Amino acid sequence: MGGNLELLNVIRQKRDGMSKGQKRLADYILANFEKAAFFTAMELGKTVGVSESTVVRFPSALGMTGYPQLQKELSSMVQEKIHSIERIEIAEGSMQQEQVLDNIMNADAEKIRLTLDGIDRHAFAMAVDDIIRAKHVYVVGVRSCSPLASFLAFYLNVARPDVIHVQSTNSSEMFEQMIHLQADDVVIGISFPRYSMLTLKAMEYANDTNAKVITITDSKHSPMNMYSSCNLFARSDMASVVDSLVAPLSLINALIVAVSLKKNKDVIGNIEKLDQILYDYHFESDEINLLDEDVMTELKRISGNESA
């Protein structure tokens, strides 16, 4: 089919001639194509309240060869929902060049405030406890979310052992890195619009393995929530060429600090051990300080209070 609007128009045009079950599918897809794109035929049928066979037959009513073609078209719609050129046009129409610095930084600050106001504190505390108790922690994030995943994995590794940053551009590599995943592990998936099918598949695999799944995403409408037991939401929307990932990074920063405070003795020990290794092997560190002295002092103070 020739574009996103054409698929929606075809569904609208053919709806009247459909069966009752197919009409329910049509209505759901027209209103929720972002979610429908990530469902299997069975999952879509369960969500809408129709049989899997009804879902499988539905694409033929649209002139398609089968459900995989429909899913591909829907996925394409999600990927192209907010095209970069359209977003640039929105930004150019709403602000002048001299307003960019103030507008963008104020918008970023607002995203952090909205994220803080809306955060589920019980879910946040649950995520911290799950990360601490897990045998292994896998962190998954691709494309624009890859730096967020790298940041999270790097600092979690200071607080606890066995943190795996899953770095992959295809499902084969991803599953190779997650092949030893077990039920007592935690998988943290990070994905924001446009959502990554690769990250979603990692979450599905983790869920099927009965591992704990934590998602860091933008809202309750995100398809990432389908496979997670703990959802952390951070605002990322912005009418610009790029999404704002400031609030997600701030949330991740809070998660790292919360874990580190509960594991403060391990953090202190790991940092001192690394300093000793650098000294013993006469390695010139390229860092001025691995951790700020004030932070080290505070961690030691907390550790001393807990021992008392």
Domain ranges of the chain: 4-79, 93-262, 264-307
Residue closest to 258 by CA, chosen among 165, 149, 155, 162: 155
pLDDT higher at 302 or 129: 129
Distance CA 185, CA 210 (A): 9
Q: Which of 139-143, 186-190, 303-307 has the lowest mean pLDDT?
A: 303-307
pLDDT of residue 89: 46
Give the burial class of 123: count Cβ atoms within 10 A of its Cβ; 0-12 exposed, 13-18 middle, 19 or more buried: middle
Q: Which residue has the higher pLDDT, 87 or 21?
A: 21
Residue of 282 and 134 predicted with greater confidence: 134
85-94, 140-149, 170-179: least confidently modelled range: 85-94
d(CA 222, CA 209): 21
Average pLDDT value for residue range 273-301? 63
* Residue of 282 and 194 predicted with greater confidence: 194
In percent, how much of the chain has pLDDT > 70?
A: 78
Domain spanning 4-79: which CATH class is it, in words? mainly alpha
Residue 37 has a pLDDT of 82
Which alpha helices (DSSP H) does the chain contain, by range? Answer: 4-14, 20-36, 41-48, 52-61, 67-79, 84-94, 100-118, 121-133, 146-159, 171-177, 197-208, 246-262, 264-280, 293-307
Least confident piece of the model among 55-69, 203-217, 278-292: 278-292
Query: Of the candidates 209, 257, 207, which has an alpha carbon nearest to the alpha carbon of residue 227?
Result: 207
* Structure tokens belonging to residue 66: 């089968």
Strands 230-233 and 186-190: unpaired
List, in sequence order, every residue forming a beta bridge with 212; answer none if it has no partner.
186
What are the pLDDT digits (tens) for 69-81? 998 888 777 665 5
Residue 84 has pLDDT above 60, yes or no: no
pLDDT above 90 for 304? no
Question: Does residue 105 have a pLDDT over 90?
Answer: no
Work out the mean pLDDT of the chain and round it to a whole number: 81
> Using one digit for the tens of pLDDT, what is the confidence trace for 128-170?
999 999 999 999 998 889 999 999 999 898 888 899 999 877 7
Gap between the Cα atoms of 81 and 187, Å rounded: 28
pLDDT band at 264; cut points 50, 70, 90: confident
For the domain 93-262, what is the CATH code? 3.40.50.10490
Determine the longest span between alpha carbons in the chain, in angstroms: 78
Among the listed residues 128, 111, 127, the one whose alpha carbon sits nearest the alpha carbon of residue 249: 111
**Of 69, 50, 49, nearest to 59 (Cα)?**
69
pLDDT at residue 83 tops 50: no
